[in-house]
Chain A
Amino acid sequence: MLHVILRDQKDGKVLYDEETLRFFTNAPFLAYKDEKGNLQLLSDVDKDGAVEAWYVYDELSNSVQKVFGFYNTNKISKDNKGLKPALFTKNLNVNGKSVKTVFEYLMDYTQNFTPEWASKITDVPASTIRRIAIEFATMKPAIIEPGIYDSRYENTIQLRKTLAIIQAITSGYDKPGTWVTGGAYKMLINDFFEFTKKNGNKITIPVKGYPDVDIPGMLRVLDVGFKYFFNPKAWTHGYPSIQWAYLQTELSKGKEATVFPFITDNGFYESTKKEVFWKGQPYQLKAAFVYALNLVRGDVETQRWKEFLTNLDLVVGFDTMPSDTMLYADVIFPDIPYILKKDIIFDINTSHDYSFGTREAAMPKDGDEMHALDFMYMLSKAMNVPWLDTMAELYQYWKWDKKELNQKCEESWNKYGTIIPAIRELQLKNKVAPELKEYKGVSKTVQELEEEISKKGVITVMDREELMAKYSVPWHQPVPTPSGRMEIYSNVFATLQNMFGYKPNYDPLIAYIPPKWKGDMAPEDVKLEENEFFITHGKVPIQSHTCAATVDNPILVSIGKWREGVYYGIWINDKKAKSLGIKEGDDILVTNVMYPNLKVKGKAHLTKLIRPDTIFIPGAFGASSKKLTYGGGLGTPLNDLIPYRPEPVIGGYRANEFTVKVVKA
């Protein structure tokens, strides 16, 4: 699709949106190949490492001009001249480097990925691919919805990047009918943009001088990652996160590992086997606090997680259900189910409006269940840790005053046995009320706001139309990328490339990584045996049974049983199944061909809706905990089949990148 949109025309016009590309992306930025052959952007960097300027070729003045380091648009130069940045240049040499635009490099990189090439690996005719690409580019607005559960192949990261590029070059961002950012998110970006304007329209990575948790988007991930998680000096104990220590351990052995292991599980299991080191000393996890997470059934390679939890000295669980993971807990604290939960106020980032919401209890609780924040408060009091102070420092978005926060929470705890009323009161007073006053001109007391939000569940500060008109991204304010533009060339990936050496997985521009169904065998050489299949998985509408909130819901279980084959079975093409002598409901054994120790038994569901060479397993069933009176033992435990093979960028599991063999059990 990208190849077609970059090259084809309709009615004499190019398919990509020139204006968007020139002014709101880094497609016109000048780039060059360094001595290692890696693609880099031409830039001026100050002594703190902040990019002060990028370079473009201006068609108005026919000269090379500089644009701001962090800004949403390339319409003006750093010295305030109007610009028309070129997408195509002619043999430019700048600062001793032979340069082209990012856009020209994108054309080069996508040259061979034609619809004809794609049709060979997708079974979709080239003419159909071409038609869909042209329709997508010309029938606006258009959106590609990639769905969830997409960490299926090593190529997934680059595929997602390609989808984002297609959306960008057709101007498909923050307009009705395209990818739209949340209303509260736009306001978060706005606050940050105001900060960067005061600092010369440039930022460092990590960001300096701005509350970390309030930094929007990917910038926050980079900031918190490099400033805290990966930084041993940020911690009194002098150790970085386990994931970073594991990465360094593997690199020291010349092995591949996930290079940006931010909130991944890399190294957890290995540390309990004493295979992770930091400064020559073993870095061994001894305890885990598992909050509302079902590692054993919701993650991959079940046995690995069971061993991990068994190897720990202490497992503390916090959940609503006796899930497969909670069976390994030494202590379980009772989390509060949604139906009983009166929650704090939160900004609703999934809404196009700028609004605040909450949850109200549908009925009173009558047991020991507690909100996680109450649990943390109780624990912090028992351990004499100033947790509320830390929360106030981290979450300045809510404009906490430490003294007031501590005092109010103590009063609330003593009176009600929960800090939630105090948190809500301060959120409404310090954030919601002032925002309503500033943006809507409405003054309301905390009590009035509490009544309103309790009844309606939502308070809207600004509606979508007004937000789109003033705060849309990138049309009015920057994207939270290192440059503020929609980045065709990813500066985040460039950072990884420069730190760890080139890999196609984090090629800053674009790359294709063929599927490795059978290790290093080229995909076109893969020939399936008679009872061998590719595998795919997905969600089904009755939720999954690994999620604690729904695992034991008797109504959902009944619906699942009524649709048994569809939800709990293993989908196999009806004609293919018959050729193998498999009937509806037969017990079948599915074995991972590359990792034969990984296998799962399930019931065959014959269907026309799957390719003859592929099976489908509905994700996240197969809970084995007998204490789950309704949901235990139902469905096929997909994760028993999937090996733990995190890809090298952010640790995605490549969950479908293998073949399986099916026999009657």
Chain B
Amino acid sequence: MEKVIPKWVFVVDLSSCVGCNACMAACAQENQTPYWSEKWRTKVEQIEIGEFPEAKRVFFPHLCMQCQNTPCYYACPTGATYKTEEGIVLVNHERCIGCEACVIACPYGARYPYESDDVDECEKLYGEEARHTTPHIDKCTWCYHRLKEGLEPACVETCPTNCRMFGDLNVDSYVSRLVLEGKAIPLSPQLGTEPKVFYVTSKETPIGVVSHHLDEPPYKQTI
């Protein structure tokens, strides 16, 4: 029987994110990310729009877009950044030289350096179970190690409002229909990166606000 390669997609419903940050805590624990240095694979940005008394706050969960047209992959000089057959973008820790070309190349600010101090702290905390044993550039992997076991990413499993959703476009589901029917849209498609994270927006949570926010530092990269 021919092997069917999943077409994984991530959907975020901006109207139901309540900014609880449980996803950030779950990710930090699951992936041993350097929370002690306030570096995160996934973040929930808070954006205020309007003026009092009509002011609103939009919570924007932000993670690696796992782009199909992958700027970080092309920027990497050593081939440390690579893609799995399912299209998940990973980093080979041993091969990474920490040049940060990928950090600059990523228009979504998804990457950060896992520095040697961070490695020391990781090994101190997790001992033999530490998975970051050499400095490298780190990023969200959609918990690829969990996906291979048939589990959902840790942030999706934890999310109390089902704002974060995960699915396979090969499988008919609420998530795949949101993407295929165009109800969930990608962020900044004009960049040509073909992201695999899609957002469900509304009048109250316009993605235009979020796009604009990404034009500001630290997301705006100068080369």
Shortest Cβ distance from B42 into chain A, in angstroms?
Answer: 11
Shortest Cβ distance from B126 into chain A, in angstroms?
Answer: 13
User: Which of A123, A559, A573 has a CB less than 8 Å from the CB of B25?
Assistant: A559
Specify the chain A residue showing the minimal Cβ separation from B24.
Answer: A559
A612 CB within 8 Å of chain B:
yes
B4 CB within 8 Å of chain A:
no
Which of B50-58, B144-152, B204-212 is the interface stretch?
B50-58
A562 CB within 8 Å of chain B:
yes
Q: A542-B21, A554-B36, A558-B38 are in contact. Are A608 and B48 (CB under 8 A)?
A: yes
Q: Flag if B18 contacts A541 (CB, 8 Å).
A: yes
Specify the chain A residue showing the minimal Cβ separation from B18.
Answer: A541
A129 CB within 8 Å of chain B:
no
CB-defined contacts of A566 to chain B, threshold 8 Å: 46
A561 CB within 8 Å of chain B:
yes
Q: Flag if B40 contacts A562 (CB, 8 Å).
A: yes
Q: Mark A607-619, 1 if CB is under 8 A from B, else 0.
A: 1111110000000
Q: A541-B18, A541-B21 are in contact. Are A609 and B38 (CB under 8 A)?
A: no
CB-defined contacts of A562 to chain B, threshold 8 Å: 38, 40, 43
Specify the chain B residue showing the minimal Cβ separation from A561.
Answer: B38
Q: Flag if B35 contacts A609 (CB, 8 Å).
A: no
User: Which of A123, A554, A559 has a CB less than 8 Å from the CB of B21?
Assistant: A559
B19 CB within 8 Å of chain A:
yes
Q: Flag if A611 contacts B52 (CB, 8 Å).
A: yes
Shortest Cβ distance from A127 into chain B, in angstroms?
Answer: 16
A556 CB within 8 Å of chain B:
yes
- The residue in B21, B28, B51, B55 that gathers the most chain A C-beta atoms within 10 A of its C-beta is B21
Q: A541-B20, A542-B21, A555-B29 are in contact. Are A608 and B55 (CB under 8 A)?
A: yes
Q: Flag if A573 contacts B36 (CB, 8 Å).
A: no
Specify the chain A residue showing the minimal Cβ separation from B51.
Answer: A608
Q: Flag if B52 contacts A609 (CB, 8 Å).
A: yes
Q: Flag if A558 contacts B35 (CB, 8 Å).
A: yes
A563 CB within 8 Å of chain B:
yes
Instruction: State the total of A-B contacts with C-beta under 8 angstroms.
Output: 45
CB-defined contacts of B18 to chain A, threshold 8 Å: 541
Residues of A contacting B: mostly? mixed
Q: Flag if A563 contacts B46 (CB, 8 Å).
A: yes
Q: Mark A123-158, 1 if CB is under 8 A from B, else 0.
A: 100000000000000000000000000000000000
Q: Flag if B52 contacts A608 (CB, 8 Å).
A: yes
Q: Flag if B52 contacts A610 (CB, 8 Å).
A: yes
Q: Flag if A556 contacts B52 (CB, 8 Å).
A: no
Specify the chain B residue showing the minimal Cβ separation from A123.
Answer: B53
CB-defined contacts of A573 to chain B, threshold 8 Å: 52
CB-defined contacts of A612 to chain B, threshold 8 Å: 52
Q: Flag if A608 contacts B35 (CB, 8 Å).
A: no
CB-defined contacts of A608 to chain B, threshold 8 Å: 48, 50-52, 55
Q: Tell me the bound Cα distance from A541 to B59 in angstroms.
A: 13
Shortest Cβ distance from A146 into chain B, in angstroms?
Answer: 18
Q: Tell me the bound Cα distance from A294 to B77 in angstroms.
A: 55
Q: Tell me the bound Cα distance from A561 to B36 in angstroms.
A: 10
Q: Mark A566-588, 1 if CB is under 8 A from B, else 0.
A: 10000001010000000000000
Interface positions of B from 1 to 29, Cβ below 8 Å from A: 18-22, 24-25, 28-29
Q: Tell me the bound Cα distance from A462 to B94 in angstroms.
A: 55
Shortest Cβ distance from A242 into chain B, in angstroms?
Answer: 39
Q: Tell me the bound Cα distance from A541 to B57 in angstroms.
A: 15
User: Which of A123, A554, A607, A611 has a CB less than 8 Å from the CB of B35?
Assistant: A554
Shortest Cβ distance from A180 into chain B, in angstroms?
Answer: 19
CB-defined contacts of B28 to chain A, threshold 8 Å: 555, 558
Q: Mark A264-291, 1 if CB is under 8 A from B, else 0.
A: 0000000000000000000000000000
CB-defined contacts of B53 to chain A, threshold 8 Å: 123, 611
Q: Tell me the bound Cα distance from A346 to B98 in angstroms.
A: 52
- The residue in B35, B43, B57 that gathers the most chain A C-beta atoms within 10 A of its C-beta is B35
- The residue in A541, A542, A561 that gathers the most chain B C-beta atoms within 10 A of its C-beta is A541
CB-defined contacts of B24 to chain A, threshold 8 Å: 559
CB-defined contacts of B40 to chain A, threshold 8 Å: 562
Shortest Cβ distance from A10 into chain B, in angstroms?
Answer: 27
Q: Flag if A555 contacts B35 (CB, 8 Å).
A: yes
Specify the chain B residue showing the minimal Cβ separation from A576.
Answer: B52
Shortest Cβ distance from B134 into chain A, in angstroms?
Answer: 23
Q: Flag if B25 contacts A555 (CB, 8 Å).
A: yes
CB-defined contacts of B19 to chain A, threshold 8 Å: 541
Shortest Cβ distance from A618 into chain B, in angstroms?
Answer: 13
Specify the chain B residue showing the minimal Cβ separation from A566.
Answer: B46
Q: Tell me the bound Cα distance from A563 to B47 in angstroms.
A: 12
CB-defined contacts of B52 to chain A, threshold 8 Å: 573, 575, 608-612
Shortest Cβ distance from B154 into chain A, in angstroms?
Answer: 13
Q: A541-B18, A541-B21, A608-B55 are in contact. Are A559 and B48 (CB under 8 A)?
A: no
Q: Tell me the bound Cα distance from A566 to B44 in angstroms.
A: 13
Specify the chain A residue showing the minimal Cβ separation from B19.
Answer: A541
Specify the chain B residue showing the minimal Cβ separation from A556.
Answer: B25
Q: Flag if A558 contacts B36 (CB, 8 Å).
A: yes
CB-defined contacts of B25 to chain A, threshold 8 Å: 555-556, 559
A-B contact pairs, 18 of them (CB 8 A): A541-B18, A541-B20, A541-B21, A542-B21, A554-B36, A555-B28, A555-B29, A556-B25, A559-B21, A559-B24, A561-B38, A563-B21, A566-B46, A573-B52, A575-B52, A609-B48, A611-B52, A612-B52
3 closest A-B pairs by CB: A608-B55, A541-B20, A558-B35
